[in-house]
Amino acid sequence: MLKKALIVIDYTYDFVATDGKLTCGAPGQAIEGTITSLIEQFMKEQDVVVFANDLHFEQDPYHPETVLFPPHNIIGTPGRDLYGMVKDAYEQYKDQVISFDKTRYSAFAGTNLDILLRARNISEVVLVGVCTDICVLHTAVDAYNLGYTITVPKDGVASFNVAGHNWALQHFQTTLGAKIL
């Protein structure tokens, strides 16, 4: 039986909290309920839930994001903690979900996510989190290239860039064949 996986991307304090280091602010906070409801639904239906969280090191001269963005999601800082109700849901189900660190935009880049999903007969990924036009987008492109069916709940993704957010939603649908809910 083919199943689907919910992939929660970068829903951390630094990306969502008002005082986060690279925050989406209110748009990121507004999707908290949708993400939490989806986690609950997936757990109830015994589908797979994955948490993929950004990991950086202070002033890493070898990471390209060091020159592109302010320091964020630095190892050992509270900025890497999951945010709000999503953190609570993770704590409730942490023994039943997949959770890993990622060091690039895509949850697939340099990780064993594809192997983990294929071992569980996953054919569809549902992508939620932040930022729509950065990490969610790059994860979606890799999922497409790996042959996964993609669904993106519009109320489950956000960005600090409204134009980029809207462009990414259109790109998911028109270029990657994703279902936008």
Distance CA 104, CA 7 (A): 15
Residue type, 104: R
Closest residue by Cα to residue 72 from 127, 16, 133, 31: 16
pLDDT of residue 65: 87
Q: What domains, with CATH codes, occur in the chain? A: 3-180 (3.40.50.850)
pLDDT of residue 1: 57
Q: Are 147 and 139 in contact (CB under 8 A)?
A: no
- Measure the CA angle with vertex 36, ends 100 and 89; round to 5°: 60
pLDDT of residue 56: 94
CA distances from 113 to 50, 70, 156 (A): 9, 27, 20
Q: Are 98 and 50 in contact (CB under 8 A)?
A: yes
Distance CA 39, CA 89 (A): 7
CA distances from 64 to 61, 76, 103, 157 (A): 8, 20, 10, 24
Q: Which residues of the chain have pLDDT under 50?
A: none
Q: Which helix (H) or strand (E) holds 129?
A: strand 122-130
